[in-house]
């Protein structure tokens, strides 16, 4: 069970390092440089980042993550379709992995599939969002009250 943002980031990086189809996994620390990072990918990559957070009435924190799986291929129907198939497999595997490490039922919001042509070929992209609830208890927040800054 994941109990912090740091553990989510670590789990997704671990997934990317073990997934044969994914060669680069990057947590986006500067959204303004995301286009540059995408252009520098040499193989299929997984880019992800925290997009928002919220709190519920039970002291829990709801973290929303966005992700994109991006591949660069030659501009041919066969290569694009193969890349899209592999991207979809990676999304399915990521979904299974997150559910496994969260020991729960995490839903991916509507996934977006895009292709973008360039001088060097085509980028195939699958993007989406998912929420993870980090469970907290009242005693956790009580301990923070004891912390005198």
The string of pLDDT tens digits covering residues 79-132 is 999 999 999 999 999 999 999 998 888 889 889 999 888 777 888 999 999 999
Q: Which domain holds residue 18?
A: 5-141
148: in domain: no
4/75 Cα distance (integer angstroms): 41
The pLDDT, as a whole number, for residue 43 is 78
Interval 64-80 mean pLDDT: 92
pLDDT tens column, 6-60? 999 999 999 999 999 999 898 988 766 666 777 677 678 999 999 999 988 777 8
What is the count of structural domains for the chain? 1
125: in domain: yes
| pLDDT at residue 140 greater than cutoff 80 | no
Residue 40 sits in a domain whose CATH number is 3.30.2000
The pLDDT, as a whole number, for residue 142 is 62
The pLDDT, as a whole number, for residue 134 is 86
143/53 Cα distance (integer angstroms): 21
For every residue of 17-57, DSSP letters joined together read HH-TT--EEEE-S-GGGHHHHHHH-SS-EEEEEEEEEEE-T
149: in domain: no
12/15 Cα distance (integer angstroms): 5
The pLDDT, as a whole number, for residue 144 is 63
Q: Please say whether the beta carbons of 107 and 52 come within 8 A.
A: no
Going by pLDDT thresholds of 50, 70 and 90, the confidence category of residue 148 is: low
The pLDDT, as a whole number, for residue 110 is 85
9: in domain: yes
In the numeric block, the tokens 């991006």 are attached to: 70
């Amino acid at each position: 069970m994941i109990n912090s943002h740091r553990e989510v980031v670590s789990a997704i990086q671990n997934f990317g390092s073990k997934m044969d189809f994914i060669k680069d996994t990057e947590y986006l620390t500067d959204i303004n440089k995301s286009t540059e990072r995408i252009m520098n990918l040499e193989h299929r990559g997984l880019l992800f980042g925290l997009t928002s957070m919220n709190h519920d009435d039970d002291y829990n924190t709801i973290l929303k993550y966005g992700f994109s799986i991006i591949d660069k291929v030659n501009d041919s129907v066969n290569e694009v379709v193969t890349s899209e198939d592999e991207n979809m497999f990676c999304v399915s595997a990521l979904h299974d992995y997150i559910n496994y490490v969260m020991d729960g039922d995490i839903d991916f919001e509507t996934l977006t599939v895009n292709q973008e042509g360039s001088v060097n070929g085509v980028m195939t992209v699958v993007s989406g969002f998912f929420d993870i609830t980090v469970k907290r208890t009242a005693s956790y927040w009580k301990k923070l009250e004891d912390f005198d800054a």
